[in-house]
């Protein structure tokens, strides 16, 4: 315990020094002998994931995106969960101390590109505060600030050795294209290729069009030159006021979209359907492939960002990623970024690693967000599953490209902006947890996230005890003083504060515990780069024990978690060379009882990190 406190204090002192003398410190990087940020591998990072609109307002003059009128024009309504609240890039840049103090080394922020301000049918409108409804892919949304604000954020992060990961979208743009057959309707059913072939207008009995186009599987320019009429499934319509709204200009041509109606997220529609009306790009067309490579390559070149999180990656055809990913990595290398990270969103609410692994094998995505990890940790920490579920998850690392070594680059999380926050998810599967026990289980979940394999992503606000009442808008609370009544009614964990006040409290028990775990992780390669060996799991709540190994020295880091509400006292196998242990976190066995075995004592819902020497 003492040792960790000393380490943490030293790290904080170094950060302070870096603030004063950052030029010298970042170029010399002396005392720690750790690589500079460009030299760190993806698995060396701890990511902080943030929605800038909900984080900090650094410039009240941009809250309405320089538009005027009511919220349907400006998008601004800080009392509504579905509209802009005023947070921006300047605000985020002003809180880098807070984020770095939490132990995060990289920031992933939701898309910064200019969005369609408001969309949705009358009475069901909401705003693009989350960034996923892009119209202009080449510039920053005016609600979030300017291109210069983004550059200042990236430069400030880099100056203190932190990375910035952009959130990008290639699957769709904002909802600008509509279908005549669905006018005035909310939703538009998917029309399949079998029922609506490309070479007939509006169904198999329609007029011949697109003569000679053989379909999306021949992804050559010659084949796509024969696709000239977009009205094979629906009659495409664009409002005159929005005909030129998209940038670059080629995006305004409906021929570059699938135009088959809403995805059911099954079969053919999974890659060719519109995501709730969002215009689904024809990503098989080589013009679209080159266009997207140009768009996102330019962001790497202009700002020197460190990685991309790819939205809705599983809804784009694999051939697209097979071309796009190597192109992005090449642009990054040319820009002096050798360890550019790319991780795709392949969402599932199941503990199904086969589902997510496919996108690393077939699409060749370097990594994906580890949704099965989130499922397993919720199930195990809530007590509805035995600790076997985690053992089963890690056994399946063999399915990913690169196997267990490749799985080190998966981005793990337990909360996010779509599914919701971890303590809320615990309450759904295991109701009637009082707030004390919920806080304990929350910390147990964070201890797993920050010590197990993968690159941990902390969802902003979790460290302030935000819980939320659901996913999506219900899980996107403000860090600055909120005016949303439903947020402000929530009971936060570990504090008497509410979201009606600004919550950047570095003394919050969750902030302090996450910081302790994150600093431990980033100062011990066993926890960032070390492979895992499972020591004990069972089909009931209780002990989950495993070891990770420093890749250089082979030193064993023993990780112990208790998901039961009773104490644990049992023997656990270790390496025979691991005869004594340093107590990094929690209560550790001091020495082996006999070669290759230790006695583990853990309190209810406790955890420990023990380093052999």
345 is catalytic: yes
C-beta of 182 vs 327, nearer to Ca ion: 182
Omega within 30 of 0 (cis) for the link into 468: no
- Establish if 556 lies at the interface with Ca ion (CB under 5 A): no
Binding-site string for Ca ion from residue 218 to residue 237, where x marks contact by CB under 5 A and - marks none: --------------------
C-beta of 37 vs 198, nearer to Ca ion: 198
For the bound state, the minimum distance from the C-beta of residue 302 to Ca ion, rounded and expressed in Å, comes to 23
For the bound state, the minimum distance from the C-beta of residue 395 to Ca ion, rounded and expressed in Å, comes to 32
For the bound state, the minimum distance from the C-beta of residue 60 to Ca ion, rounded and expressed in Å, comes to 6
163 forms beta bridges with: 106
Binding-site string for Ca ion from residue 252 to residue 271, where x marks contact by CB under 5 A and - marks none: -------------------x
How far is Cα 450 from Cα 444, in angstroms, rounded to an integer? 10
For the stretch 209-216, contacts whose Cβ atoms lie closer than 8 Å and that sit 24 or more positions apart, written own/partner, are 216/272, 216/282, 216/284, 216/285, 216/317
- Establish if 86 lies at the interface with Ca ion (CB under 5 A): yes
Total of residues contacting Ca ion (CB under 5 A): 14
- Establish if 277 lies at the interface with Ca ion (CB under 5 A): yes
C-beta of 59 vs 352, nearer to Ca ion: 59
Q: Tell me if residue 208 falls in helix, strand or coil.
A: strand
Radius of gyration of the chain (CA): 25
Q: Which two tokens stand for residue 44?
A: 């060396």
Q: Which of 77, 88, 136, 345 is catalytic?
A: 345
Which span sits near Ca ion by CB under 5 A: 277-285, 413-421, 523-531, 601-609? 277-285
Please spell the DSSP secondary structure of 119-182, one letter per residue: ESSTT--EE-TTS-SEEEEEEE-TTT--HHHHHHHHHHHHHTT-EEEEEE--SB--S-EEEGGG
- Left if phi > 0, otherwise alpha if psi is -120 to 50, otherwise beta: which for 586? left
C-beta of 116 vs 441, nearer to Ca ion: 116
539 is catalytic: no
- Establish if 135 lies at the interface with Ca ion (CB under 5 A): no
- Binding to Ca ion, residues 386-425 (CB under 5 A): none
For the bound state, the minimum distance from the C-beta of residue 259 to Ca ion, rounded and expressed in Å, comes to 9
Q: Which two tokens stand for residue 362?
A: 């077939």
Q: Which of 306, 311, 462, 463 is catalytic?
A: 311
For the bound state, the minimum distance from the C-beta of residue 342 to Ca ion, rounded and expressed in Å, comes to 18
> Judged by CB under 5 A, which of 44, 56, 262, 279 binds Ca ion?
279
Q: Which two tokens stand for residue 566?
A: 């009773």
For the bound state, the minimum distance from the C-beta of residue 321 to Ca ion, rounded and expressed in Å, comes to 12
Which span sits near Ca ion by CB under 5 A: 63-71, 235-243, 432-440, 534-542? 63-71
Q: Which two tokens stand for residue 544?
A: 């989950």
C-beta of 271 vs 537, nearer to Ca ion: 271
C-beta of 321 vs 549, nearer to Ca ion: 321
Question: What torsion do the CA atoms of 194, 198, 199, 200 make, to the nearest 10 degrees?
Answer: 70
- Binding to Ca ion, residues 165-184 (CB under 5 A): 171, 175, 177
- Please list, residue by residue across 344-381, b when 16 or more beta carbons sit within 10 angstroms of its beta carbon and e when fewer do: bbbbbeebebebbbbbbeebbbbbbbbbbbbbbbbbbb
C-beta of 53 vs 556, nearer to Ca ion: 53
**Do 529 and 462 contact (CB within 8 A), yes or no?**
no
How far is Cα 107 from Cα 99, in angstroms, rounded to an integer? 8
- Establish if 88 lies at the interface with Ca ion (CB under 5 A): yes
> Judged by CB under 5 A, which of 8, 62, 117, 475 binds Ca ion?
62
> Judged by CB under 5 A, which of 63, 77, 216, 556 binds Ca ion?
63
- Establish if 315 lies at the interface with Ca ion (CB under 5 A): yes
Q: Which two tokens stand for residue 474?
A: 């219900």
Alpha helices, H only, 396-508: 403-407, 422-429, 435-451, 485-488
Binding-site string for Ca ion from residue 32 to residue 61, where x marks contact by CB under 5 A and - marks none: -------------------------x-x--
How far is Cα 282 from Cα 258, in angstroms, rounded to an integer? 5
423 φ, ψ (degrees, to nearest 5): -65, -30
For the bound state, the minimum distance from the C-beta of residue 279 to Ca ion, rounded and expressed in Å, comes to 4
For the bound state, the minimum distance from the C-beta of residue 490 to Ca ion, rounded and expressed in Å, comes to 24
What does the chain come to in residues?
A: 613
- Establish if 319 lies at the interface with Ca ion (CB under 5 A): no
- Establish if 280 lies at the interface with Ca ion (CB under 5 A): yes
- Establish if 126 lies at the interface with Ca ion (CB under 5 A): no
C-beta of 189 vs 509, nearer to Ca ion: 189
How far is Cα 372 from Cα 454, in angstroms, rounded to an integer? 12
For the bound state, the minimum distance from the C-beta of residue 357 to Ca ion, rounded and expressed in Å, comes to 20
Sign, CA dihedral 57-342-280-475, equals negative
Residues known to be catalytic: 311, 345
- What are the residues binding Ca ion (CB under 5 A)? 57, 59, 62-63, 86, 88, 171, 175, 177, 271, 277, 279-280, 315
């Amino acid at each position: 315990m003492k040792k960790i406190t000393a380490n943490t204090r030293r790290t904080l002192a170094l950060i302070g020094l870096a603030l004063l003398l950052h030029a010298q410190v970042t170029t010399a990087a002396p005392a720690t002998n750790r690589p500079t940020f460009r030299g760190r591998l993806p698995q060396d990072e701890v990511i902080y994931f943030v929605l800038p609109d909900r984080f900090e307002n650094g410039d009240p003059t941009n809250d309405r995106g320089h538009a005027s009128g009511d919220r349907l024009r400006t998008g601004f309504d800080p009392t509504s969960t579905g509209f802009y609240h005023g947070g921006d890039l300047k605000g985020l840049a002003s809180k880098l101390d807070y984020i770095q103090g939490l132990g995060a080394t990289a920031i992933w922020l939701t898309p910064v590109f200019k969005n369609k301000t408001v969309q949705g049918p009358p009475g069901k409108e909401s705003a693009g505060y989350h960034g996923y409804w892009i119209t202009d892919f080449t510039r920053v949304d005016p609600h979030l600030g300017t291109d210069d604000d983004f550059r200042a954020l990236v430069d400030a992060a880099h100056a203190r050795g932190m990375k910035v990961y952009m959130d990008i979208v290639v699957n769709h743009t904002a909802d600008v294209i509509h279908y005549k057959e669905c006018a005035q309707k909310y939703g538009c059913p998917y029309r399949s290729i079998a029922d609506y072939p490309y070479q007939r207008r509006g169904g198999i009995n329609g007029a011949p069009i697109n003569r000679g186009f053989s379909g999306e599987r021949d992804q050559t320019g010659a084949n796509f030159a024969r696709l000239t009429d977009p009205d094979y499934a629906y009659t495409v319509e664009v409002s005159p006021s929005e005909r030129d709204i998209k940038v670059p200009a080629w995006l305004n041509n409906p021929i570059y979209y699938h135009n088959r109606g809403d995805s059911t997220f099954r079969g053919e529609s999974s890659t060719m359907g519109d995501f709730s009306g969002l215009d689904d790009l024809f990503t098989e067309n080589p013009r679209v492939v080159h266009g997207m490579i140009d768009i996102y390559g330019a962001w790497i070149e202009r700002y020197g960002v460190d990685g991309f999180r790819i939205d809705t990656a599983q809804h784009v055809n694999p051939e697209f990623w097979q071309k796009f990913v190597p192109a992005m990595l090449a642009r990054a290398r040319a820009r002096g970024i050798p360890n550019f990270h790319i991780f795709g969103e392949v969402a599932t609410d199941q503990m199904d690693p086969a589902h997510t692994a496919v996108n690393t094998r077939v699409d060749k995505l370097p990594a994906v967000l580890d949704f099965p990890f989130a499922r397993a940790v919720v199930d195990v920490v809530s007590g509805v599953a035995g600790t076997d579920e985690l053992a089963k998850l890690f056994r399946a690392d063999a399915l990913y490209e690169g196997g267990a070594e490749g799985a080190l680059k998966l981005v793990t999380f337990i909360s996010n902006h779509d599914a919701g926050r971890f303590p809320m998810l615990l309450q759904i599967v295991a109701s009637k947890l009082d707030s004390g026990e919920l806080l304990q289980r929350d910390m147990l979940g964070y201890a797993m996230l920050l010590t197990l394999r993968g690159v941990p992503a902390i969802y902003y606000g979790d460290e302030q005890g935000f819980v939320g009442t659901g996913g999506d808008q219900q899980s996107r609370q403000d860090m600055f003083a909120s005016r949303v009544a439903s947020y402000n009614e929530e009971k936060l964990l570990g504090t008497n504060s509410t979201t009606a006040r600004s919550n950047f409290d570095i003394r919050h028990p969750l902030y302090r515990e996450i910081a302790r775990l994150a600093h431990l992780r980033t100062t011990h390669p066993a926890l960032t780069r070390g492979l895992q060996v499972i020591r004990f799991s069972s089909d009931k709540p209780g002990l989950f024990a495993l070891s990770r190994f420093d890749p250089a020295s082979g030193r064993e880091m023993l990780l112990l978690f208790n998901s039961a509400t009773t104490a644990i006292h049992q023997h656990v196998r270790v390496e025979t060379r691991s005869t004594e242990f340093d107590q990094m976190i929690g209560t550790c066995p001091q020495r082996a009882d006999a070669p290759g075995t230790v006695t583990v004592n853990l309190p209810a819902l406790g955890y420990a990190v023990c380093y052999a020497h």
